[in-house]
Structure 1
Amino acid sequence: MSSENLSQWLRDLARLTVASVHPDNLISDPLPAPGRKTLVVGAGKASAAMAAALERAWQQRYPEADLSGVVVTRYGHGAQCEKIEVLEAAHPMPDNLGEQAAKRMLSSVEGLGEEDLVLALVSGGGSALMSLPAPGITLQQKQSINKALLRSGAPIREINTVRRHLSAIKGGRLAAAAHPARVVTYLISDVPGDDPTLIASGPTLPDSTTAADALEILQRYQINPEPEVRAHLEAATESPRPDDADFVRDQSLMLAKAADALEAAHEAALAAGVEVRVLGDDLEGEARELGAEHAAMALDVQEELRQPLLILSGGETSVTVTGNGRGGRNVEYLLGLFDGLKGASGIYGLAIDTDGIDGSEDNAGASFTPDDWAKMQSQGLQPTAYLANNDAYSFFAELGNLIVTGPTRTNVNDFRAILVLPTMDN
């Protein structure tokens, strides 16, 4: 196959992978029995598509049962619903509309009884989209902390620990407001390890972290919070705990996770006669450094190959921002990989965010072929200079290699694929 065809094969594989974890393919029977009142709440980049899929499944299973509610998703990630209201707000920096959506959800679950049912649709991105500050803290103060954490290179589990303890709705507080109603949470995981309490900062699940943990994280990344934020954390107003008896009747169901996406890619590659090595679905670390590590790995394994090999990985890397360029963690990873390979023959790379948005840009990610090294040189581009400025988006834009899908309305985080062909000597 030509270089262009192999690159297209990788892009088609990525498209199939994302489709495998779309809510349309996930929500079906068995559904919980309707409550006296059945209310839907939810937040995340996949929440609108989850709501639309739930509506269809609910209508087929319980055509006479009422269903209503409200979910919030990122701007442009909405879906058509008849019974569930879909709101849109900002991500990754929360805005006033996200705050209003969170207030709407808390208000909607007030006064429910034991015979009522709350269906929570939770996916990645929900933490920023339902940003309701704890009493005494302003949205602007939460935005400041959020921005500092995102630029610090902190992993998502630590970012969400801080978010939970500065929130009036996360860390199980939404479920606590709904009790004694039963709460059933449907989850699409975007976090390494798939801990349900970390997805969207766990609005309907009890929290095992503490306010002291949040303070320690801020100190470790040298983030100095405003006095009101520090005072709130030092007061140690804790989230609902895992041993809270009110959560006994609740249930959580994991609909999709990064491992499912990787398995879909694995099966498709094997069907195409390509060997597969899966590095894991929970890889973290500095994006460019992981890319460089994977470049060294690809070069090493290529020496022994007798047939094509696809190296797959998922998870969520971090980017410590020191420059002022345009980028996201997937293109920064890919540029680290590209630079490490130095145009090695027979090695192709792709990295995307499965939600269709890499960071805050308009692309899902990017890809490259071995031919792109010579193309880069002819254009006078310097990978190290672009990395130094956190400007990987611009680098791949110059090469014409950005992958632009638009919102996919699902989110199991990063998907990375390296196709390694045997050398002529093997």
Structure 2
Amino acid sequence: MNDVSVPIIPKSGRKTIITGAALGSVIEYFDITMYTFLLVYFAPLFFPSTNATASTLAAVATLGVAYVVRPFGAVMWGWLGDKKGRRFVLTATVVLMGIATLGMGLLPTYETIGFAAPVLLVLLRLFQGLSAAGEGVSASTFVVESAPAHRRGTFGGIVPGSVIFGQALGALTAAGFAFSLTTEQMSEFGWRIPFLISAPLTLVVIYLRKRMEDSPEFLAIEKSHDVAPSPISEMLRFHWRPFLKLVTVTVAVNAPSFVAMAFVVGYLITTRHIPSADVYLILGIAMLCAALLALIAGSLADRYGRRPVAIFGIVGLIVTAVPILVIVRDSESLVLIAVAMIALLGFYAIPGSIVYVLMAEWFPTKVRMTGSAVGLNVGVAISGGLAPYITLQTTIWTGSDIAPAYWIVAASVAALAILLFSRETKNTLLAR
């Protein structure tokens, strides 16, 4: 039964939806990104060793926990989103992230509670990964399903823009602390502050999201009793093609982001010996530009179509990846390095924004959360989980510090093939 009409959301209701979705995504990705930037300070406190490098490597291993768990979290959140509603997942993910992040800020160290400290830290990081597996997808699904048909791209670009903005705030916050506190102060108490300040903001997001009605598309299938009995099996049986397309495109659009944060940042600090505060500042500025481009890309997708805008960004990555890494390797100018990072993350943000719209348009309403969550997070797990290994191995095999650019190009070529042979979805109705 698909004859139930979709209710129209008034402008005031859309403002609440956009605010709740955007602010939640900013806070969630600020939280999960801060862990990456701060672990160099708290690593010895939870993984004590006579060798500082060993402590840091042990802490770095916990980064992978958040990516390994994401596909499993995606299955859970996708099922809940398609069975219980988008708002339920939106609220649950931000509550889980808030608990995990506050817990990190208050967590006693190894010196106080012994082996329980690293175990609890890993567990909290796992909770962060579970939350992230559902946050961006549920927020974008909710926003796109609530948007007027002719503005789905504009609305859809708000969530990826907010995600990148949250990451930018993480980088800029790390830069601010690196400028204002000594290494000893950061290790003693400074690393806890960013985790703690997000707690009251999380409460604001919970309040906003509890006030929202569920998306009109979900309410329509719920009213018509057309909710899928088993969203995951129905998605894999009847919608496996868009699922594989989403995985491939997600790997590509995330490759430059992970290269920037997993390779370029470490390379500039450890090999080029550029002060960490300067590197974080460059990354933060580049991400702010990328967040703006994500919003612009969504708007352009409503005007010119999803495919042309996404293809422009993908081609940009293919053409510029190698020159950008050459600048990172050779340039003595921080301004030129900053421009290179803005280009890398800017070209990433353009197709990255469109993906959040496409995944809503590629799957029907009753399996939209499952298809989007599992496809996106499998792609993120592949890209994020393999990025450190691939960048390291390609550098070793080739003996070249620009080898990570080849990973970006290879992934982008695969995504380009997908987009070239995909139909335009700009003027189509969302499938029920």
- TM surpasses 0.5: no
**Which has more radius of gyration?**
1
Larger relative contact order, structure 1 or 2 (CA cutoff 8 Å, min sep 6): 2
TM-score (norm 2): 0.27
TM-score (norm 1): 0.27
Higher helix share: 2
Higher strand share: 1
